[in-house]
Amino acid sequence: MRQRLRHPTTLLAGALALLAVLLFGALIVSEGQRRDEVWVRHTLEVQNDLSRLLSTLQDAEAGQREYVLTGQPRFLEPYRRAAASIAGELEGLGAKIGDNAHQRGALARLRPLIQERLERLAVGSELRRTQGLAAAVEYLVDGRGKSIMGEIRAEIAGMNQREATLLAARQATAARTRTIQQGLLAVGAVAFLVLTSFIVLDSARQVGRMRRSRDELAAVNERLTAEVLGRERAEEQLRQAQKMEAVGQLTGGIAHDFNNMLSVVVGSLELARRRLRTDPDRAQHYIDSALEGAQNAAGLTARLLAFSRQAPLAPRPLDPNKLVGGMSELLRRTIGENVEVETVLAGGVWRVNVDRQLIENALLNLCVNARDAMSEGGNLTIETSNTSLDEDYASAQSEVTPGQYVLISVTDTGVGMPPEIIARAFDPFYTTKGVGRGTGLGLSQVFGFVKQSGGHIKIYSEVGRGTSVKIYLPRWTGEAAGDAAFAPATTEPPPRARDREIILLVEDDERVRGVTVDSLRELGYDVVQASSGDQALQQLAQQPRIDLLLTDIVMPGMTGRMLADQVLAQRPDLRVLYMTGYTRNAIVHNGVLDFGVAFLQKPFSAEQLARKVRDVLDGRGANR
């Protein structure tokens, strides 16, 4: 062992080889985990299809029953829609369970039962139309229909139970795979640390033998210490930048798929809420709960993107004093009566160039945090002033450029924070609040927005005395624009189409496309739809008039931006509105929306869609 310790290079090579082997094993396990998760999603999709099939059949029964009772043909429409869609749902379900002999057998038993039930419903409807209510009722009360539905429910329940058993087994397999992966990574880390420790100890002994005199080395040691400290600061800044890049890529990929799902949830629930007929109170309760959950998930995605500095910014030159002054009344209502809010606005404050909505959200977030720190009441002060950050200060901070800044500070007289909490205050998901009182993303969202805007944020706090959060935003010396004051949400009804305007909708996700088409048509627009850029170009060649191109950005093959570039080359006056859940490198560069771009962030509600489409058609809504 002593002989080996004299060859640290060999030990390091061995450590790296071991790590490479462990990493290769972890990658293999990771691929297995990915396959496990695919099967888990497959099982959940089958369960969802079974529930939808039963619901569709029940819709058919309900529509036919209402027609028999009332004789009004309009009640047959739900029955016809449900009966028409059942065949497709059965085919889709059959394709998904083709690998399961038990489920195929159950589906084979289920098909004739459903067919018989639909035929009985059709006969009952025909009797009501030709012979009247009494004949239809006499046919329907023989009990056979109820018996068939009982058999159908039993078959579907059995299929659901088998899928639930498969789901439990597959989730257990996925959990074991994750445990193995974590174990491999842990072993690799421990092995590397042990070998590195031996190398460091051997090097230390060699350095000790080389020392000649404590007095001669004192001056050299001081210089080396200063250099090491400077190098450690530089390495910490590099690690922070690399961490932010990794988090940005991760959250960006999640946001794209997650927001597609949320678009379906939000749009479908809004449409369903307007069309439901039976048990409206209970249905309304469930719809509102689901809609609120989807909107909360969308807010979480937005906060993750803000922290990772991937939020699409639409900066405007604005006067900080007018912004803070315009928010004063809202802040007082939000904070409550037991906290006294004071604004101290300096004269001649420079303009800044930031995204108005995000700076408003940041100030509101800081004020709410300050209120929570003053449970017994206190004073909250918002101040603005001009300041400068010099070279010495900037060199001691991460990602700070010397220069002129506008300072906006939020100061409270609350409980304060100790140094160890201040050091972690901007970490995502870190919170000192109780369960259910905070997500831990508030300050990290503010941090990401300020950094993405080229600014700096600092916390000063003393336990028992209070906290001051200072935001430094770069001075704007470009051309002035209209002052951006606080704008409360409008209560006007969503705007509708004018003069049968035509929209070309391009979206590769079928579910998102379907919901968006329905929403636009309910607003009075004529909609031409396409699932890809190539198909959109074909539609444009056939359509003599298109008023707006509404396109997703992230699509296979031709992206939304590539499609818009080709279309505008042919029709330069065509209005274009982009929509996506993730915008990196398409219409956003260096964190800022490209000039002249109109953009709608997924997920969006029907009202947001209506207002943005109307703004773009009327020549508003672009980043200018």
Please report the pLDDT score of residue 486 as a whole number: 47
Q: Which pLDDT band holds residue 4 (cuts at 50, 70, 90)?
A: very low
The Cα angle at residue 141 between residues 135 and 145, in degrees rounded to 5: 115
User: What is the domain partition of the chain in residue ranges?
Assistant: 9-189, 315-474, 502-617
Q: Which pLDDT band holds residue 392 (cuts at 50, 70, 90)?
A: confident
Q: Which pLDDT band holds residue 335 (cuts at 50, 70, 90)?
A: confident
Please report the pLDDT score of residue 125 as a whole number: 83
Lowest model confidence (mean pLDDT) among 261-275, 401-415, 464-478? 261-275
* pLDDT of 566 above 70: yes
Beta bridge partners of 389: 403
Residue range 473-499: average pLDDT? Answer: 70
Residue range 291-295: average pLDDT? Answer: 64
Percentage of the chain surpassing pLDDT 90? Answer: 20
12 versus 162: the higher-pLDDT residue is: 162
Residue pair 500/430 in contact (Cβ under 8 Å)? The answer is no
Residue range 46-69: average pLDDT? Answer: 83
Please report the pLDDT score of residue 289 as a whole number: 63
Residue pair 178/33 in contact (Cβ under 8 Å)? The answer is yes
Residue 396 C-beta-side C-alpha neighbours within 13 Å: 5
Q: Which of 313, 295, 310 lies closest to 256, judged by CA?
A: 310
Size (the chain), residues:
624
* pLDDT of 36 above 50: yes
Rounded Cα distance, 420 and 414, in Å: 17
Residue 622 C-beta-side C-alpha neighbours within 13 Å: 14
* pLDDT of 387 above 80: yes
Long-range contacts of 111-117 (CB under 8 A, 24+ apart): 113/148, 113/151, 113/152, 113/155, 114/57, 114/86, 114/90, 114/152, 116/148, 117/57, 117/61, 117/145, 117/148, 117/149, 117/152
Q: Which pLDDT band holds residue 537 (cuts at 50, 70, 90)?
A: very high
Average pLDDT, the chain: 79
Q: Which pLDDT band holds residue 1 (cuts at 50, 70, 90)?
A: very low
Please report the pLDDT score of residue 590 as a whole number: 46
Residue pair 591/308 in contact (Cβ under 8 Å)? The answer is no
137 versus 412: the higher-pLDDT residue is: 412
Q: Which pLDDT band holds residue 582 (cuts at 50, 70, 90)?
A: low
Please report the pLDDT score of residue 257 as a whole number: 47
In this structure, the dihedral spanned by the alpha carbons of residues 152, 156, 158 and 161, taken in order and rounded to 10 degrees, is -160
Rounded Cα distance, 456 and 449, in Å: 10
Residue pair 243/426 in contact (Cβ under 8 Å)? The answer is no
DSSP 416: -
Rounded Cα distance, 184 and 176, in Å: 13
Exposed (0-12), middle (13-18) or buried (19+): which is 346, by Cβ within 10 Å? middle
DSSP string, 482-535: ------PPP-SPPP--SSS-EEEEE-S-HHHHHHHHHHHHHTT-EEEEESSHHH
Q: Which pLDDT band holds residue 78 (cuts at 50, 70, 90)?
A: confident
Rounded Cα distance, 83 and 72, in Å: 18
Please report the pLDDT score of residue 481 as a whole number: 54
| Amino acid letter, 247 | V
Per-residue HEC secondary structure of 424-445 comes to HCCCCCCCCCCCCCCCCCHHHH
DSSP 592: E
The three-state secondary structure class of 76 is helix
The three-state secondary structure class of 545 is coil
Rounded Cα distance, 312 and 595, in Å: 12
Q: Which of 452, 534, 540, 463 lies closest to 504, judged by CA?
A: 540
- 9-189 topology per CATH: Four Helix Bundle (Hemerythrin (Met), subunit A) (1.20.120)
Lowest model confidence (mean pLDDT) among 121-130, 317-326, 458-467? 121-130
Do the domains at 315-474 and 502-617 have one common CATH topology?
no
Residue range 143-159: average pLDDT? Answer: 85
Residue pair 349/383 in contact (Cβ under 8 Å)? The answer is no
Rounded Cα distance, 278 and 286, in Å: 13
* CATH node for 315-474: 3.30.565.10
Residue range 180-205: average pLDDT? Answer: 70
Please report the pLDDT score of residue 591 as a whole number: 46
Percentage of the chain surpassing pLDDT 70? Answer: 74
Instruction: Give the pair of three-digit tokens for residue 47.
Output: 């369960």
The Cα angle at residue 302 between residues 432 and 394, in degrees rounded to 5: 70
Residue pair 383/344 in contact (Cβ under 8 Å)? The answer is yes
H or E stretch including 466?
strand 466-474
**pTM for the whole thing?**
0.44
Q: Which of 356, 343, 353, 454 lies closest to 408, judged by CA?
A: 343
Rounded Cα distance, 250 and 253, in Å: 5
The three-state secondary structure class of 579 is strand
Exposed (0-12), middle (13-18) or buried (19+): which is 280, by Cβ within 10 Å? exposed
Q: Which pLDDT band holds residue 272 (cuts at 50, 70, 90)?
A: low
Please report the pLDDT score of residue 214 as a whole number: 77
Q: Which pLDDT band holds residue 491 (cuts at 50, 70, 90)?
A: low
DSSP 557: S
Instruction: Give the pair of three-digit tokens for residue 617.
Output: 């058609």
Most confidently predicted of 73-87, 434-448, 558-572, 610-624: 558-572
Q: Which pLDDT band holds residue 192 (cuts at 50, 70, 90)?
A: low
Please report the pLDDT score of residue 524 as a whole number: 92
Rounded Cα distance, 503 and 536, in Å: 11
* pLDDT of 404 above 90: yes
Top-level CATH class of 502-617? alpha beta
Q: Which of 620, 547, 573 lies closest to 314, judged by CA?
A: 620
Rounded Cα distance, 60 and 121, in Å: 8
Q: Which pLDDT band holds residue 547 (cuts at 50, 70, 90)?
A: very high
Count CB-CB contacts under 10 A for residue 314: 18
Question: What are the backbone dihedrals phi and psi of residue 503, each rounded to the nearest 5 degrees, phi first?
Answer: -120, 130
CA distances from residue 360 to 99, 440, 449, 553 in whole angstroms, order as listed: 54, 19, 11, 27
> Is the backbone of residue 156 left (phi > 0), alpha (psi -120 to 50) or beta?
alpha
Count CB-CB contacts under 10 A for residue 233: 14
Residue range 105-114: average pLDDT? Answer: 88
* pLDDT of 250 above 50: no
71 versus 8: the higher-pLDDT residue is: 71
Q: Which pLDDT band holds residue 263 (cuts at 50, 70, 90)?
A: low
Please report the pLDDT score of residue 255 as a whole number: 61
Rounded Cα distance, 148 and 544, in Å: 52
Rounded Cα distance, 367 and 271, in Å: 36
| Amino acid letter, 496 | R
